[in-house]
Chains A and B, each alone.
Chain A
Amino acid sequence: MVFDLATRCVAEERGSKTGARAQVVSGFRLGVERAIPALRRYARALTRDVEIADDLVQDTLVRALRSEHLFHGGNVRSWLYTILTNLNRNRLRSLARRPTMALIGDDDAPDMAGPEAGGRDIERALANLVDDQRAALLLVVLEGLTYREVADIQGVPVGTVMSRLARARAQIKAYLDGERPALRRVK
């Protein structure tokens, strides 16, 4: 009845006491720590909500620390983006199962004036994108990752990343040019 849980905890504790292991771990920890500002930026743009974004970052960090034994080298930052992207996808899926109440109003029309207009336009234009296109666009444009890195994060071929990017840009351009948002393409 001990099950693996207790042995696992003991093993992890023992592992972190050996010198070499500790060194790898601290490098890993440093990598995670340095990535936090960028993760917050990406999450904020992805969700456009301060609280939800920081919740996502927190969940990402918890998972990363809990499963650091699964991280065998490579780019820590990319790995964190992968976790965050997947967590957000799960979040959107669970939201999709729940009926939501939304005000029907002029919320969809781009703002034409005001100092905040530019920023709000971008927010709405991003909100109008399909999730995978939004993530691809933000990882390339905001986070400065390569197509190859984004392909690994999203688990798709590079060509798919490029078509997501092209569609996202076309969609945003159409939106900002004042067209009514077209029917959202599903998948």
Chain B
Amino acid sequence: MTDRDLPVTEDELHAYVDGELPADRRAAVEAWLSAHPDDMARVAKWRALSDAVHARYGEVAAEPIPVRLSLGQIERAGRSWKSIAAAAAIAAFLIGGLAGWWARGASAAAPDPAHTFTTEALEAYKLYVIEVRHPVEVPGSEAAHLVQWLSKRVGYKLQIPDLQPLGLTLVGGRLLPGPRGAAAFFMYEGKSGDRFTLYSTRSDGQDTALRYNVEGPLASLYWAEGDAAYVVSGEADRDRLHKIAETAYAQLERGPTR
């Protein structure tokens, strides 16, 4: 009871209403309220607000759950997704060296996001990789700022893979217009000045296997997972690109953004 006379803060009034007030301050707050009608009125209004929110939305929890939200339904959809992804991965494996050709065949049948994203990413590569003085907007030394800024613009949580184990240093990144809104573009450089880029933009949520695509002296690897599609581009060195994509992929797989 010694702190009974301590002035009560607004935070304590909120905590009192929300049942978060430490037990030893309860009596003090109640005494304060009976002596301060204005605060008493405020507390009453906050309680009325809680009641109104409950009255408006409380019964939603008692509504029957729609079929599409039943776990059985969601799991069935998930399983077919998994088997499609596995089948696609196996098909890509069997076709092997013809994967690039296979991707082209698929894009002829329907407008293929893989094709659109790959084209965009390669254009960006060609445009910026020759830049000596201004290849990026934000240098790799400001990686934390870069990832925060670009995540905000693309609308999902980006990560900048560490490709140091492959001898590649982050040059930096920039924002690009993508086929579906903003795209993030990261550039890496090897000791010999060879450059690779990682392009990422929002996808339609369909996960895919890795697709290799050659365009003259350049090549790219595309995949999509969760919200995002990724394209790694560089000189047409298939093994090198595959290593980069694999390293990036392993680091990017982190589940839901938290």
Give the B-binding residues of A (Cβ under 8 A): 1-6, 9-10, 12, 29, 32-33, 36-38, 40-41, 44-45, 54, 57-58, 61-67, 70, 82-83, 86, 90, 93-94, 97, 118-119, 121-123, 126, 137-138, 140-142, 146-147, 155, 162, 165-166, 169, 172-173
Contacts and interface: CB of A to CB of B under 8 A. Distances in A.
Given A1-B210, A5-B85, A54 B53 contact: no
Interface in B202-250: 202, 207, 209-210, 212, 223, 226-227, 242, 246, 249-250
Contacts of A4: 246, 249-250, 253
B69 interface: yes
B64 to A, nearest CB: 10
Contact of A1 (B99, B182, B207): B99
B156 interface: yes
B69 A118 contact: no
Contacts of B54: 141-142
Contacts of A63: 226, 255-256
Contact of B65 (A40, A83, A118, A122): A40
A173 to B, nearest CB: 6
A140 B253 CA distance: 32
Given A162-B14, A169-B46, A9 B86 contact: yes
Interface of A is mostly: helix
Contact of B61 (A29, A40, A66, A97): A40
Nearest to A138: B53
A2 B89 contact: yes
B14 A166 contact: yes
B155 A90 contact: yes
Contacts of A172: 49
B10 interface: yes
Nearest to A119: B56
B68 A1 contact: no
Given A1-B212, A37-B60, A122-B56, 11 more contacts: A4-B250, A9-B82, A9-B85, A32-B71, A37-B63, A40-B60, A45-B57, A45-B60, A61-B71, A62-B74, A62-B78
Contacts of A67: 255-256
A3 B14 contact: no
Number of contact residues on B: which range applies? 35 or more
21 contacts: A1-B92, A2-B90, A6-B86, A6-B90, A44-B60, A54-B69, A58-B68, A58-B69, A58-B74, A62-B74, A70-B254, A86-B258, A94-B181, A97-B182, A118-B52, A122-B53, A126-B53, A137-B53, A141-B49, A141-B50, A147-B20
Contacts of B52: 118-119, 121-122
Interface of B: 10-11, 14-15, 18, 20, 42, 45-46, 49-50, 52-58, 60-63, 65-66, 68-69, 71, 74-75, 77-78, 82-83, 85-86, 88-90, 92-93, 96, 99, 152, 155-156, 181-182, 202, 207, 209-210, 212, 223, 226-227, 242, 246, 249-250, 253-258
Nearest to B181: A97
A175 B49 CA distance: 12
A119 B69 contact: no
B255 A3 contact: no
Given A1-B93, A65-B78, A97-B181, A165 B14 contact: yes
Contacts of B66: 54
Nearest to A66: B78
A169 B45 CA distance: 9
Give the 5 A-B residue pairs with the shortest CB-CB distance, closest first: A67-B255, A37-B61, A6-B89, A70-B255, A41-B60
A115 to B, nearest CB: 12
A38 B61 CA distance: 6
Contacts of B181: 94, 97
Nearest to B249: A4
A82 B257 CA distance: 9
Contacts of A155: 258
A151 B90 CA distance: 44
A6 B93 contact: yes
